[in-house]
Amino acid sequence: MRKFLVCFSLIAPLLGAAELAGTWHFESPAQTGPNGQPRRGFQANYVFKVEGNKFTGVSFTPTNHQDVIDGVIDGNNITFKLRNEWGNSGKGTVVDYKGALNGEDLTVEPANPPQNAGRGGRGGRGGGPVTLKRISAETEYKMPPEMAHKPFGSFQPIKPNGLALTPPMGWNSWNKFAGRVTDKDVRAIADAMVSTGMRDAGYVYVNIDDTWEGPRDKDGNITTNEKFPDMKALADYVHSKGLKIGIYSGPGPLTCAQYPATYNHEQQDANTWAAWGFDYLKYDWCSASGVYHPDEMKPAYQKMAVALRNTKRPIIFSLCQYGWLDVGEWGASVGGNLWRTTGDISDRWDSMLRILDLQPGREKYAGPGHWNDPDMLEIGNGGMTDTEYRTHMSMWCMLAAPLLAGNDLRSMSEANKEILTNKEIIAIDQDKKGVQGVRVSQTGDTEVWKKALAEGMAVALMNRGADTANMTVKWADLGITKKNPKIHDVWAHKDLPSGAEFSAQVPSHGTVVVTVK
């Protein structure tokens, strides 16, 4: 547990730094989040201490903690660095600050303000000036007691749970509904999963993302908010449609949308979700940076994996920590069935490509039971063309990615329904060999990907350019030695003439996918 203990007594100011002697404090006003909860992640605190020429301190919010290092006093001016152990995706950052005493105010700010000093990244914060006041009584600052946790023991990998032998398929509420999702929506989506043929195409999980949570009751049990009056009844309804149901929380005190999360209630929450009938958990890091050090991320995730297993209910465990700290190296060892590899997708061609480009190299981590997760699908949300959505689907299937639709299934177009329910492209994703595809070559705006299948290979020809591209791939270059293999176009649904190579006109932003057997 981290302690912010700054005990001090009144010290006779020493020469040199006399004016600055004492303890300095800043606390931004509390903000209120959904349901009137304090938005604690947004409350910044600075506590600096000047003793003689020694200058130490800490800057913290409950979602972050930064130590002052290299504090230097020069007359009425100070310079120092803030070390953020969670900066740069958990690898740590050090940022230079400067400050000056003006009358009774000590104003500090970044020495080199970032260009867009708005919102800091997760675990960071934007960089405007902040004014600290001297506090003259003996004062103690520490994390609230509910922020403490027992130290973790030595880390031991755990065995796979036997679930997700092919990438999980289903739907998730976040991309379309975000904080507006309700019980009614989830029931309607379950209905639509059946009526649109999504269920029969393999989409099974109906996953509720953030914003279902209510306060804890007097015994510490998590409750729902008014949008979800009866989770057990909702789970029963979803199950009655031949579907499964998923829920969301995180290892920190608050979710990303500032609702209560699971910190220090791991087994209790797992028991609650199992009793409600949940089959899938997405566990999102968010505020956990405020209560854990980077070396505690693995055991914090494993703690939940163990809690889920203790319930005896088969529950898929989805890690969401944005790919930090080389999660592929350890995601399976903490009991994860899938782990996000990047920050959030948005419904734009460039966002989808940015995420795609962060996948090569991770293929070694994917396999039956444990998958890289390039985030949920945006197909049908309106920000891309149908051709681009076909590329999105093609590439997620080439990656053996979890396929979680994120659109409103009640109103999807025929074209988008066809994309999402194309059984031939889905078969590539769900192939039982469980191999993640790799990029074979890139030439200008075009690229070729291949994915080994239980029988044969899937090959994708993708065109990022503004014009149609005439692309050719020689099978020998992909390691296919068989003469005259059987070629099948999975979007055109037709067999193609065989030969030693294959050529296709690939439209701008489009992808042609064939199986070669």
Residue ranges in 319-358 that form contacts with ligand GLA under rule CB under 6 A: 320, 344
- CB of 196 or CB of 351, closer to ligand GLA: 351
**Does the annotation mark 350 as catalytic?**
no
Report residue 257 as tokens. 């949308």
Q: Could you tell me whether strands 280-284 and 244-249 are parallel, antiparallel, or unpaired per DSSP bridges?
A: parallel
Catalytic entry in 67, 191, 344, 489: 344
Q: Which of 42, 48, 60, 174 forms a contact with ligand GLA (CB under 6 A)?
A: 174
Nearest distance from C-beta of residue 344 to ligand GLA, angstroms: 5
Task: Give the closest residue to 404 by CA, choosing from 207, 128, 232, 116.
Answer: 207
State the catalytic residue, choosing from 284, 347, 373, 375: 284
Nearest Cα to Cα of residue 84 among 48, 40, 120? 120
The closest of 442, 387, 376, 342 to 122, measured between CA atoms, is 342
For residue 106, what is the enclosing H or E element?
Answer: strand 105-110
Give least dist CB 229 to ligand GLA, A: 21
* Strand arrangement, sheet containing 457-463: 438-443, 446-452, 457-463, 511-516, 487-489, 494-496
Closer CB to ligand GLA, residue 255 or residue 515? 255
Our CB check for ligand GLA shows the closer of 245 and 256 to be 256
Chain centre distance of CA 344? 6
284 scored as a contact of ligand GLA (CB under 6 A): yes
Distances (CA, A) of 443 to 351, 437, 489: 21, 18, 22
302 contacts ligand GLA (rule: CB under 6 A): no
**469-474 and 501-506 strand pairing:** antiparallel
Would you say 210 or 408 has its CB closer to ligand GLA? Answer: 210
Structure tokens at 515: 């199986």
Site residues for ligand GLA, 436-475, by CB under 6 A, read none
Q: Establish if 181 lies at the interface with ligand GLA (CB under 6 A).
A: no
Which CB, 401 or 480, lies closer to ligand GLA? 401
CA nearest to 105, candidates 132, 79, 80, 127: 132
d(CA 85, CA 497): 57
Smallest separation (angstroms) from ligand GLA to the CB of 267: 23
Minimum distance of ligand GLA from residue 119's CB (angstroms): 13
- Taking the complex as a whole, the smallest distance from the CB of residue 256 to ligand GLA amounts, in Å, to 3
Contacts (CB under 6 A) with ligand GLA, residues 239-278: 255-257
Considering beta carbons, is residue 284 or 378 the nearer one to ligand GLA?
284
How many chain residues interact with ligand GLA (CB under 6 A)?
9
Task: Tell me how far, at minimum, the Cβ of 326 lies from ligand GLA, in Å.
Answer: 18
State in angstroms the smallest separation of the CB of 234 from ligand GLA: 19
Q: Is the distance from CB of 185 to CB of 229 less than 8 angstroms? A: no
Residue from the set 183, 209, 266, 279 that interacts with ligand GLA by CB under 6 A:
209
Nearer to ligand GLA, 210 or 266 (CB): 210
Decide if 210 is catalytic.
no
DSSP string, 350-416: HHHHHHHHT-TT-GGG-BTTBEEE-----TTSSSS-HHHHHHHHHHHHHTT--EEE-S-GGG--HHH
- The nearest distance, CB 171 to ligand GLA, in angstroms, is 13
- Best CA proximity match to 5, nearest among 26, 31, 27, 23: 23
| Residue 341 vs 422, nearer CB to ligand GLA | 341
Provide the 10 A C-beta neighbour count for residue 391: 28
DSSP H or E stretch at residue 194 = helix 183-195
Task: State the nearest-atom distance from the C-beta of 183 to ligand GLA, in Å.
Answer: 18
The token duo for 487 is 């070629």
Nearer to ligand GLA, 22 or 41 (CB): 41
As a whole number of angstroms, the distance between CA 254 and CA 256 comes to 7
Q: What is the dihedral of CA 474, 476, 480, 485, to 10 degrees?
A: 50
* Residue 48 DSSP label: E
Among 63, 87, 204, 210, binds ligand GLA (CB under 6 A): 210
Instruction: Tell me the catalytic residues.
Output: 284, 344
Note the residues at the interface with ligand GLA (CB under 6 A).
Answer: 174, 209-210, 255-257, 284, 320, 344
